[in-house]
Structure 1
Amino acid sequence: MFPFRIALNSSTLRPFNLNVVEQLKITSEAGYEGIELWMADIMSYIENGGSTRALTEYMNDVGISFVNAIAFFRWSDRDGIQREAALHQARKEMEILADLGCPAVAAPPFGDLEGLSFRTISEYFAQLYEIGCVIGVEPYLEFWGKATHLSRISEAMLVLMESGVPNGKMLIDPFHMYTGGSSLDQLAYINGASVGIVHVNDYPDGFNRKTIMDKDRLFPGEGVLPSKKFAQLLNGIGYSGFLSLELFIEHFGDQSALEVAQYGLNQIKTAYAL
């Protein structure tokens, strides 16, 4: 049994220097249902003469759903001027995402959060969510394992609860759970409806949580993450959404982008089958 849907985060294809159209083409040919695009790549496409209408038409033609965007705005920065600029940036980028039919955008703890209480971070997230609610693009709260604040799944749960946001959702990533010291068993305390999307990857044995880097991520099933347990816990809380392959491997040898994407899809199906 495989109760999930599968997407590709375009970071996985970064070594091939593909534009967004090429990323979509590879994702479709490899057999994925959805894609996560990076806002920087979308802006590059538009700045070089592309349009949201043309990109939307292409996504429809190849049958790929744009399920979430990866963006970096300092919505939680302790500096009010930085935060105001970030919310302006978020509004602009969310409007573009809405034109592209993308329902969500990642909201990690990007910026300077030093000294902020979780109650304050929760208030800032509520402000970001309100902007997205008006535009029609939902921010998914993301925790980063190496962040000074918001590094654990329990902290993300607290921020969602304190924010007062109705049906707020988080982005889950086992790599960030590992680096931040979150236990897989903590997943059992989450309602599946509170999970917007799940990034999937693996990590090797023998790396210190503090020194391991994004580039050290592995394909699902290649490391020491108990992938079956991870999948069982997600299924147990009622999550049946997208598992999105997010890697930052710097070189793939002589493999093509299509071969890498296909291999990743097969690894997801094998590692997370129930």
Structure 2
Amino acid sequence: MTTPVLTDDSAGRFVPCLNPATLSGIPLDQFLALAAGAGFPTVEVSIQQVLAHSTTQVCDLLQEFGVKVAAASGILPAGPVLPAPLLVDPDTYRACLQGLEERLEAMAALGCTVATAVLNPRSPLDTDQARAIARERIAQLATAAAAHGVRLAVETVSIHNGLPPELDGPHPVLDSLPELAELLEDTDTDSAGVLVDSFHWAAAGADPGHLAALSPDRITHVQIADTPAYGAVGELTDSRRLFPGDGAVPWQAFAGALTQAGYTGPVSVELFNPALRALPAGEIARLAHHAATRCWILAEASR
């Protein structure tokens, strides 16, 4: 497959977005103020944090700051902020379903049309059983979300090191976009799509064909971070995420393939790097916005 070519016009179709993990530990109201102050028109939020503040209060803040919610995590919650992965044990999954309607109603009230979920790359279950359960749960959650005008965006994890226990296990589930796309094709729902993460895409080999082959309605959300320019791909961990444009991700190819697949939505900066998180919060937000708007043309500018 020919590598898609990005133009300045196609780069302008992506909407800068900020993930709250990039500013870890910041209260929601401060996060929204910092994102807006840095120039972000859209953000991701934890729906648990929204409900802790009240939906009405958060809607007022969004209007005040002129920011929209592009996506929300926590359709399956794990505590007050973090999401639970899809392949939690049955008892935990049933507990996670409590309050599902309230969370989806809150997303709809915010004007949020995307709920994100993470599929475990490995599991204690054997591969076939894990995939069967994943299809069942994706269908259930996507159907519930669709009733509120929300689409489920499922993320695949392609790194193999440093996984938290809840994402790990002795048996593989899946760890690439083609495998995830195939799983969704075999799932009984039209209301679930793929969450593309540039860091995991790079960890899986940075193949533009994995993106360009996705149908126009299959990419539901995009998160972006860069990989270090040194070290083996197999050694990547989330703690080594960099601002987009500061590492080795081939951004021209990534963006060109997204454009070829028909994606023109938010691109959300998501970092877990403790060294970068230690910067002043305002500086993080400013650097993230600069990265989200400039990484697409860095390769061209450096020639």
TM-score tier (shorter)? 0.7 to 0.9
Mapped to 2, the partners of 1:22 and 1:62 lie a distance apart of 11
Partner residue in 2 for 1:177: 201
Deviation at 1:261, TM superposition (A): 1.4
Partner residue in 2 for 1:109: 119
Partner residue in 2 for 1:126: 139
Partner residue in 2 for 1:94: 104
TM-score with structure 2 setting the length: 0.79
Partner residue in 2 for 1:135: 148
Partner residue in 2 for 1:22: 30
Deviation at 1:183, TM superposition (A): 2.4
Q: Residue type of the partner of 1:73?
A: A
Aligned-partner SS, 1:230: helix
Q: Residue type of the partner of 1:101?
A: G
Deviation at 1:125, TM superposition (A): 0.9
Partner residue in 1 for 2:64: 61
Deviation at 1:81, TM superposition (A): 3.0
Q: Residue type of the partner of 2:95?
A: A
CA separation of 1:92 and 1:75: change in aligned 2, threshold 3 A? farther
Contiguous gaps of at least 5 residues in structure 1: none
Mapped to 2, the partners of 1:87 and 1:141 lie a distance apart of 17
- CA distances 1:152-194 after superposition (whole Å, capped 9, x unpaired): 1011101210113225311000111233446232111112321
Aligned-partner SS, 1:203: coil
Identity %, equivalent residues: 24
Aligned-partner SS, 1:192: coil
Kindly tell me the number of residue pairs found equivalent between the two proteins.
266
Range 83-92 or range 54-63, more displaced: 83-92
| Cα RMSD after superposing both structures | 2.4
Contiguous gaps of at least 5 residues in structure 2: 1-7, 75-82, 160-166
Deviation at 1:89, TM superposition (A): 5.0
2:179 aligns with one of 141, 155, 161:
155
Aligned-partner SS, 1:25: helix
2:282 aligns with one of 258, 271, 274:
258
Q: Residue type of the partner of 1:34?
A: T
Mapped to 2, the partners of 1:56 and 1:180 lie a distance apart of 38
Q: Residue type of the partner of 2:54?
A: S
Aligned-partner SS, 1:150: coil
CA separation of 1:88 and 1:254: change in aligned 2, threshold 3 A? closer
- CA distances 1:83-106 after superposition (whole Å, capped 9, x unpaired): 322333544432332333322211
Q: Is the 8 A contact 1:144 1:180 kept in 2?
A: no
Partner residue in 2 for 1:191: 215
CA separation of 1:182 and 1:164: change in aligned 2, threshold 3 A? farther
Mapped to 2, the partners of 1:271 and 1:173 lie a distance apart of 15
Aligned-partner SS, 2:147: helix
- CA distances 1:121-169 after superposition (whole Å, capped 9, x unpaired): 2222111111112233321111111453232101110121011322531
1:8 aligns with one of 13, 18, 37:
18
Aligned-partner SS, 1:186: helix
CA separation of 1:34 and 1:227: change in aligned 2, threshold 3 A? same
Aligned-partner SS, 1:219: coil
CA separation of 1:253 and 1:24: change in aligned 2, threshold 3 A? closer
Pair 1:270 & 2:274 matched: no
Pair 1:204 & 2:228 matched: yes
CA separation of 1:82 and 1:257: change in aligned 2, threshold 3 A? closer
Q: Is the 8 A contact 2:152 2:191 kept in 1?
A: no
CA separation of 1:101 and 1:3: change in aligned 2, threshold 3 A? closer
Deviation at 1:74, TM superposition (A): 4.6
